[in-house]
Amino acid sequence: MSKDHHAPEQEAAGKKGSRVNRRSFLTLLAQGSAAAAVTAVIAQTVRFLSFQPPDSESSIVPLGQPDSYPRDSLAYVAEARVYVGHDGNGLYALDAVCPHLGCLVEPNEDGGFICPCHDSLFDDEGRALSGPATQPLPHLYLWFDQEQAQLLVDRSEPVEPAVRLII
């Protein structure tokens, strides 16, 4: 008898509009969250697979005077995103942009370089030692411009790792 008594109330509630109960709401919330998570994963995967390091506004960047880089030194030049090194063979420029996803590498305590984003390791010459990066840090064309009386680097022109500028 109580079943018949509640039936008209349930019919009236159904006619007023569809009400979402707590279970339905939580189910929709969970499905929406899962869809958002899947979309984010797909977007990041596409970004990862299609990554190209950003180009600088100008590929030729001034680095200052050669005497700013004493022998047996390695200096980071933020404007150029390069490390300028001076070893026994001369001056060289090493790209500081990780070839994996474009983070800026940092000197590693144990020598070489490390990418702070995903822990890729590179030796002192920029060779990839452990991934996820599989490509080396490129050495870039470095020269002394007589007119400007300073070093310049061309970020768009890689050179062999053994190339040095002798001043």
Give the pLDDT confidence score for residue 43 in this predicted structure: 83
Task: Report the C-alpha gap between 166 and 34 in whole angstroms.
Answer: 59
- 58-88: pLDDT as tens digits: 689 999 999 999 999 999 999 999 999 999 9
Q: Is the dihedral of CA 66, 165, 160, 57 positive or negative?
A: positive
Q: 26 or 6, which is more confident? A: 26
Q: Is the pTM of this model over 0.75?
A: no
